[in-house]
């Protein structure tokens, strides 16, 4: 029984050419480089942050002043890269009875998908999108201690937690930092993070304003400030502005689903990949989230700046399967832990 494209059966009334297929994910593939800094990094590499240091200039003038030692404030962080792998296999037998059957080779090498439309029109584009999803998932939502709901975690029971266990992502770091830094909170709580409670006149705007009020001086002093948010949060904010009679915050649709706008000198960026993760992995829990910072404060690191460090694709003549193996390392960090504010 076909399992590879089981819903696209081989029959006259259905499409017969794989090039007629449209990969819907291609329309939502945000380019990471447009929104975050991606840098080459190795596990354990240092990242140094130099601050201004203590204030200078005391009362008095004249001869024989008392000299104080000068030393700027500084912080050393190190990259923590997690390893991931994606071992996959495809059997030609699973394609019998589907439109993919037309694209298979004839004769004994039928299981070798190299050079076929199955590879070029389906597998390769899908893998590209899946790798992009993987980077978004681990960089932002990675959690080395993630567990299923049945085990006390946040991951729905139908999803394997090891899909996010490779490394701690930016959301995990942000919330952990907020929990540790109780004197100056980096976290604005959205206590009732549901559609029924957020889609109330004035609430979406109030949440964003409260996040900026709660942000410390270092965050608000950042140049080129950005608020990254879920599409749900952006839609709620747009709805609230429109209902209030304010047309002062028009959103612009960017390529592949991202939406942006600017208000009071701050850029707002809605990232559908956040919503996809929250819907799929967390069952839609707490969909109204945002982070205030700037692009320079967020780093995504991979060896040589490439997301996939090793990829192998080959046909095995013993098992008659196509094997696809990808692996890599990834990490993410806030350069300055004092220069962001999270809303969740």
DSSP string, 89-149: EEEGGGGTTBGGGGGSPSSGGGG--TTSHIIIIIIHHHHHHHHHHHHHHHHHH--TT--BG
pLDDT band at 28 (very low <50, low <70, confident <90, very high): very low
Beta bridge partners of 98: 9
Residues 134-165: pLDDT tens digits? 999 999 999 999 999 999 999 999 999 999 99
Say if CB 203 and CB 240 are below 8 A apart.
yes
Whole-model pTM?
0.86
**Residue 49 corresponds to which tokens in the numbers above?**
């942050």
Residues 103-146: pLDDT tens digits? 888 777 888 998 888 888 888 888 888 888 999 999 999 999 99
* Residue 5 confidence (pLDDT) above 80: no
Residues 250-272: pLDDT tens digits? 888 887 688 999 988 999 999 99
In 3-state terms, what secondary structure has residue 194? coil
In 3-state terms, what secondary structure has residue 47? strand
In degrees rounded to 5, what are phi and psi of residue 245? 85, 10
* Residue 191 confidence (pLDDT) above 60: yes
pLDDT band at 31 (very low <50, low <70, confident <90, very high): low
| CA 225 – CA 219 distance, rounded (Å) | 8
pLDDT band at 29 (very low <50, low <70, confident <90, very high): very low
């Amino acid at each position: 029984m076909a399992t590879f494209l089981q819903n696209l059966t081989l029959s006259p009334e259905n499409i017969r050419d794989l090039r007629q297929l449209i990969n819907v994910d291609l329309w939502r593939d945000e380019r990471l480089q447009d929104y975050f800094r991606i840098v080459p990094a190795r596990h354990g590499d240092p990242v140094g942050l130099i601050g201004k240091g203590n204030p200078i200039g005391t009362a008095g003038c004249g001869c024989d002043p008392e000299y104080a030692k000068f030393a700027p404030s500084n912080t050393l962080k190190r990259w923590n890269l997690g390893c991931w792998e994606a071992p996959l296999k495809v059997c030609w037998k699973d394609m019998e009875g589907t439109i993919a059957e037309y694209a298979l080779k004839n004769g004994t090498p039928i299981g070798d998908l190299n050079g076929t439309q199955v590879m070029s029109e389906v597998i390769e584009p899908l893998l590209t999108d899946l790798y992009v999803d993987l980077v978004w998932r681990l960089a932002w939502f990675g959690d080395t201690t993630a567990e299923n709901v049945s085990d006390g975690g946040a991951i729905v029971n139908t999803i394997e937690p090891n899909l996010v266990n490779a490394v701690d992502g930016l959301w995990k770091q942000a919330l952990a930092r907020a929990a540790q830094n109780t004197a100056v909170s980096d976290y604005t709580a959205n206590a009732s993070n549901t559609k029924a409670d957020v889609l109330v006149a004035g609430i979406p705007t109030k949440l964003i304003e409260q996040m900026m009020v709660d942000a410390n001086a270092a965050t608000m002093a950042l140049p080129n400030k950005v608020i990254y948010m879920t599409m749900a949060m952006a839609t709620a904010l747009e709805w609230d502005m429109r209902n209030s009679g304010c047309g002062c915050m028009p959103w612009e649709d960017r390529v592949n689903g991202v939406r942006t706008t600017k208000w009071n000198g701050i850029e707002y960026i809605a990232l559908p990949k956040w919503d996809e993760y929250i819907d799929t992995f967390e069952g839609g829990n707490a969909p109204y989230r945002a982070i205030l910072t700037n692009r320079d404060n967020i780093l995504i690191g991979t060896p040589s700046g490439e997301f996939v460090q090793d990829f192998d694709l080959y046909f095995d003549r013993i098992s008659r399967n196509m094997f696809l193996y990808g692996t890599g390392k990834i990490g993410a960090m806030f350069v300055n832990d004092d220069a962001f504010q999270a809303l969740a």
